Structure 1
Amino acid sequence: MSDLETLSAAVPAALAGQRLDQVLAQLFPDYSRARLQQWIKAGQVQVDGKQLRPKDRLLGGEQVAVQATAAREVTWQAQPLPLNIVYEDEHILVIDKPAGLVVHPASGNPDGTLVNALLNHAPELDAVPRAGIVHRLDKETSGLLVVARTLKSQKHLVDMLQARVMKRQYQAVICGVMPSGGTVEAPIGRHPVDRKRMAVVANGKPAVTHYRVIRRFRAHSHIRVDLDTGRTHQIRVHMAHIRHPLVGDPVYGQRLRIPPDSSEQMMATLRRFRRQALHAARLGLEHPASGEPLEWQAPLPDDMVRLLEVLQQDADEHA
């Protein structure tokens, strides 16, 4: 356990009759309801010197004291792995993740992940749920993600995500020539047959994806994508749903189609691109402590730059 701080407050009369956990959530909004309930059950909350249950109701006027401590949340090991840190202070980290790096340890990837590297760089993350990861990127998706270094920062960033005010902009290369931009609004959930995949399903969670064309090629398009929601595999699923799957997507892609009269270089480039051509290019948020609006950009990785160069060369040769 590591001490954070002692929180104290008087219960205002306006909250009389509410449950202890409800009162704490309003008195200390920097912490999640689940975290506050955990502290109550662990005996770290006293009301007029007494321990109560989360469901016990207050009369108003009581003095509440919370010993706000953070238990070790993760059992993953720290590993000295390279990290491309774009921004860092005592509240958050912003990372430019390379393609091929798994975010969280799991059965197939017990170590060598972004989390292992983060724990080595910032050991205090072992006291933050999910080692501070607020939003994920798929293994083969590159680009920016933010990590919370404290419970308060995590709560603030999660609230921003839920309120849809965190700006996340991606770039992607898709199959097919898009005539213009648009919006996909289609619910996403588990595939009814293949449970490892996601799909557009009637009973899925709401998902909204906006896309705009940056460049068109003979049989592909370079697009910018903005998310209103953050469902698992959202961009990949939505683009496949409108029949423009991402180049190289091994799960939601289509059979490789090479434009007629393509050069050897063009054919080789498309065949060798074995990951979804997706990059988290811009990230914007309100700093959890200062409230200052911040934004970062990450340049396209070399493999996507090369892919776009070859597609443009092909388009020029057939103009």
Structure 2
Amino acid sequence: MPPEPTLEFAIPDEFAGRRVDQVLSQLMPDYSRTRIKDWIERGRVTLNGRVPRPRDNVAGGETVCVEPLVEIVHEDRAQAIELDIRFEDESLLVINKPPGLVVHPAAGNREGTLLNALLHHDPDLATLPRAGIVHRLDKDTSGLMVIAKTPGAYQALVAALAAREVSREYLALVQGELIAGGTVEEPIARHPRDRKRMAVVSGGKPAVTHYRVLERFVGHTLLRVSLETGRTHQIRVHMAHIRHPIVGDPVYGGRLRLPPGAGDGLVAAMRGFRRQALHAMRLAFEHPRTSEPMVWDSEPPEDLLLLLAALRAHAEARLD
């Protein structure tokens, strides 16, 4: 079995003065702070060539090398699940995830996931952590994801994510009429009372979300959202925090708000849309092997297009 890929990247200057275990848990959000602390204590993390203690502070600019101990996929089986492949070469795979597809298997949900589909598409992915999945989308969020196919590509993509060199842009339909774009810069952590939810929490992990207005409807706004960080449920939590939750969000969206004067068609479209109206529309980064700039775009799925068309028709009718 091939060794786990070593991850190497620079610590951004903005983290100067903070503990190394805290910094790495923020730069590598798919791994828990407990796991990262264990790697440090095992000597599997170096800063500029020396092994730190978990409590040591970083100065910023150091080169960090991490040799992960990650459980390789064994128990998850390959399944013939159709993939919408937008790009593939020997290093990486870009797919357009449909809504409703879970990314990782979990307790009580071991099959029917993207990971199962990837193992069927390319059995060699079983030798990589998480079958090469380097970032995730929520089950009911659609759109573009990149998967590494080699240890070198995995290392490069994880490092690029940590260095914020991967551009991710989303379409988000939110409640309320926003006049202009803006930025939400609020820390995110587990909700203090409901551990299944995330929330804006003082002392949480830094999170930055930028948004701009694409189209206004009656009582709703279509946004283009870009991420500087990749926290769990980040866009959903941040938009709810500024009181413009994403339409259809079952966790953070609150009750359904119908536009004034909504006809039967729009009412049916909104009540029938039972997921968050969030789509990963653009993905951009440098190719991990060739350094060539790569950009992919994805149209929203049919259910979201139909909802937008119904809102657009309603807005136009009120102008007549």
What TM-score does the superposition give when structure 2 sets the normalisation length?
0.80
In the alignment, which residue of structure 1 is the partner of 2:231?
Answer: 231
Question: What does residue range 292-303 of structure 1 map to in structure 2 within 5 Å?
Answer: 292-303=292-303
For residues 201-240 of structure 1, give each alpha carbon's deviation from its aligned partner in whole angstroms, at most 9, with x where no partner exists. 0011000000000000110001100000000000000000
- Going from structure 1 to structure 2, the CA distance change for 1:266 and 1:72 (only over 3 Å counts) comes to closer
Rg comparison, structure with higher value: 1
In the alignment, which residue of structure 2 is the partner of 1:205?
Answer: 205
* Alignment equivalent of 2:66, drawn from 23, 33, 49: 33
- Equivalent residues of 1:74, 1:129 under 8 A apart: no
Separation (CA, whole Å) in 1 of partners of 2:228 and 2:4: 34
- Equivalent residues of 1:170, 1:278 under 8 A apart: yes
- Equivalent residues of 2:170, 2:279 under 8 A apart: yes
Compute the displacement of 1:158 (Å): 0.8
In the alignment, which residue of structure 2 is the partner of 1:49?
Answer: none
Separation (CA, whole Å) in 1 of partners of 2:180 and 2:260: 24
- Equivalent residues of 2:4, 2:129 under 8 A apart: no
- Equivalent residues of 1:25, 1:33 under 8 A apart: no
Unmatched 5+ stretches in structure 2: 6-41, 50-63
Given residue 264 of structure 1, which amino acid in structure 2 is its aligned partner? D
What TM-score does the superposition give when structure 1 sets the normalisation length?
0.80
Aligned length: 271
- Going from structure 1 to structure 2, the CA distance change for 1:250 and 1:23 (only over 3 Å counts) comes to closer
- Equivalent residues of 1:186, 1:207 under 8 A apart: yes
- Going from structure 1 to structure 2, the CA distance change for 1:127 and 1:71 (only over 3 Å counts) comes to farther
SS state at 1:206 partner: coil
SS state at 2:279 partner: strand
In the alignment, which residue of structure 1 is the partner of 2:106?
Answer: 106
- Equivalent residues of 1:74, 1:131 under 8 A apart: no
Question: What does residue range 285-296 of structure 1 map to in structure 2 within 5 Å?
Answer: 285-296=285-296
Compute the displacement of 1:302 (Å): 0.6
- Equivalent residues of 2:187, 2:205 under 8 A apart: yes
Question: What does residue range 116-127 of structure 1 map to in structure 2 within 5 Å?
Answer: 116-127=116-127
Compute the displacement of 1:167 (Å): 0.5
Compute the displacement of 1:74 (Å): 3.9
Question: What does residue range 144-293 of structure 1 map to in structure 2 within 5 Å?
Answer: 144-293=144-293
SS state at 1:236 partner: helix
Compute the displacement of 1:75 (Å): 2.5
Separation (CA, whole Å) in 1 of partners of 2:46 and 2:264: 68
Compute the displacement of 1:259 (Å): 2.0
- Going from structure 1 to structure 2, the CA distance change for 1:278 and 1:22 (only over 3 Å counts) comes to closer
- Equivalent residues of 1:142, 1:279 under 8 A apart: yes
- Equivalent residues of 1:74, 1:130 under 8 A apart: no
- Going from structure 1 to structure 2, the CA distance change for 1:150 and 1:256 (only over 3 Å counts) comes to same
For residues 56-115 of structure 1, give each alpha carbon's deviation from its aligned partner in whole angstroms, at most 9, with x where no partner exists. xxxxxxxxxxxxxx9944421101110111110111100100000000111132101000
Unmatched 5+ stretches in structure 1: 6-18, 39-69
Residue identity over aligned pairs, in percent, reads: 55
Q: Which runs of 4+ in 1 moved over 3 A?
A: 2-5, 19-26, 70-74
Given residue 288 of structure 1, which amino acid in structure 2 is its aligned partner? P
In the alignment, which residue of structure 1 is the partner of 2:97?
Answer: 97
Separation (CA, whole Å) in 2 of partners of 1:218 and 1:127: 50
In the alignment, which residue of structure 2 is the partner of 1:315?
Answer: 315
Given residue 177 of structure 1, which amino acid in structure 2 is its aligned partner? E
Separation (CA, whole Å) in 1 of partners of 2:133 and 2:110: 17
